[in-house]
Amino acid sequence: MFEYAPAPESRKLVTFQSSYGHFIGGKFTKPSNTYQTISPATEEILAEISTATAKDVDLAVAAARNAYEKVWSKLSGAERGKYLYRIARIIQERARELAIAETLNNGKPIKETRDADIPLVSAWFFYYAGWADKLDYAGLGVNPKAHGVAAQVIPWNFPLMMLAWKIAPALAAGNTVVLKPAETTPLTALLFAEICQQAGLPDGVVNIITGFGQSGADLIAHKDVNKVAFTGSTGVGRLIAKQVAGTNKKVTLELGGKAANIVFDDAPLDQAVEGIINGIFFNQGHVCCAGSRLLVQESIQDELLKKLKKRMETLKLGDPLDKNTDIGAINSKVQLDKITKLVKLGVKEGGEAWAPNCEIPKKGFWYAPTVITGVAPTNTVVREEIFGPVLSVLSFRTPAEAVAKANNTPFGLSAGIWSEKGSRILKVADQLNAGVIWANTFNQFDPASPFGGFKESGYGREGGRHGLLAYLKGDN
């Protein structure tokens, strides 16, 4: 086994202010009710962040309404698109800075923020920029209308990418937005506010408020909001679905998952192992579409698990800013405690947990990549979303059994299929109740490709023409 010399990315490109207010009407407010945001890898304090009160929410929604009525709704689609192209370009120019900032505040490896998160952010703006003057072709008839003010609440696992998924289609369709990033990862959203200023985006078209769950709840409940978009847990998604009952608010929800990654006996095993690793250990498993349930055909189970464990022993856990790091920090103490508790429960219920022998840093929040075998479909670790680097393993004998087990969940966000047989892949893909299916690959994302779930994984799609529809209304 090779040892790697440390290869840390320089932090010099990034400067955070010591404290941040909200970004409302094109300006930052004076910081108030602040809390500290940290680097989960070192517990270093990065900045002081404001907590939005109901009054701050009011001001932000009013700024968005004003910008919608007076400026944004009067602009042609072509001109709106040009602002989005500008934003896409500035993100490309500041890509490395944003990647470092994201890694610092989230804990995910720099190779992921540099090669996946931030490139997708600019791609998302570039893609939807091109839709802004083509809304007549969206599929809702000619001259579809924007909803007005969109309230958007996003999670901490892909902070800037989730912002792009929300803001780019909303603006292209002609809405203005108030967005709240997750409490643990507000910094790249606040850098994005600066990017809006650099792009000369009219004041109030994008407003960013920071804070905890209550700030998000106040935003979604606000009377002058026309459209709600949320990505996060199924539990909060339920609350939102209840809260908007009886209103005219249009809602899209992108919630939890418990994806099956199905490996058939004719799969290319080495590729499948890479896919399983990517499926569950990408972003420390903090991925709603993570392949957290490995379903392996019985005849190849022993061989596959042997290869998988061997590969897991080569994963490098540690400094997220190091370019060789595969597994970074868990985003928060709260999440670490949740993962720890669920794995303990899995073992208590009869599962056998295995992790490679890797050194855990003394400071920060860390969890070694873990595989749990000897579990049944009824075990907690097989049923509940862990949102961490923990893979549960089940076996099957026939394709019908694989499909039945894969669909045996209230979730339906994603699934994986590994097989060299095309007709089998197509049939199984037809039968799986999941919104995104990766065959002989996993965790691929693209702005042209719709993403979103069946059943309790939420409703609506993000990405592609379908993602645009969430922000438009036509004549029914």
Q: What are the residue numbers of the active site? A: 254, 288
Q: Which of these, 165, 234, 237, lies nearest to 446 by C-alpha position?
A: 165
What are the CA-CA distances from residue 329 to residues 39, 42, 164, 253 (Å)?
A: 9, 9, 23, 27
What does the alpha-carbon distance between residue 316 and residue 140 come to, in Å, rounded to a whole number? 49
**Residue 464 interacting with other proteins (CB under 8 A):** yes
What are the CA-CA distances from residue 257 to residues 189, 216, 286, 327, 461 (Å)?
A: 25, 22, 11, 21, 15
Backbone angles phi, psi at 434, to 5 degrees: -150, 150
Q: Which is nearer to other proteins, 251 or 294 (CB)?
A: 251
Q: How many CB atoms sit inside 10 A of residue 96's CB? A: 16
**Residue 305 interacting with other proteins (CB under 8 A):** no
Binding test (CB under 8 A) with other proteins, winner from 106, 175, 234, 278:
234
Burial of 436 (0-12, 13-18, 19+ CB in 10 A): buried
**Residue 272 interacting with other proteins (CB under 8 A):** no
Backbone angles phi, psi at 105, to 5 degrees: -85, -25
DSSP 225: -
Part of the chain binding other proteins (CB under 8 A), chosen from 20-28, 103-111, 342-350, 425-433: 425-433
**Residue 140 interacting with other proteins (CB under 8 A):** yes
**Residue 199 interacting with other proteins (CB under 8 A):** no
The C-alpha angle 27, 197, 462, rounded to 5 degrees, equals 100
Part of the chain binding other proteins (CB under 8 A), chosen from 90-98, 174-182, 281-289, 457-465: 457-465
Q: How far is the CB of 33 from other proteins (least distance, A)?
A: 30
Binding test (CB under 8 A) with other proteins, winner from 461, 468, 471, 472:
461
Binding test (CB under 8 A) with other proteins, winner from 89, 134, 311, 466:
466
DSSP 135: G
Q: Which is nearer to other proteins, 119 or 374 (CB)?
A: 119
Cβ 372 vs Cβ 391: under 8 Å: yes
Q: Which is nearer to other proteins, 38 or 417 (CB)?
A: 417
Q: How far is the CB of 245 from other proteins (least distance, A)?
A: 4
Binding mask 426-445 for other proteins (x = CB under 8 A): ---xx--xxxxxxxxx--x-
**Residue 458 interacting with other proteins (CB under 8 A):** yes
Interface residues with other proteins (CB under 8 A) are 123, 139-140, 234, 237-238, 241-242, 245-246, 253, 255, 410, 412, 425, 429-430, 433-441, 444, 446, 448-452, 454-456, 458-459, 461, 464-466, 474, 476
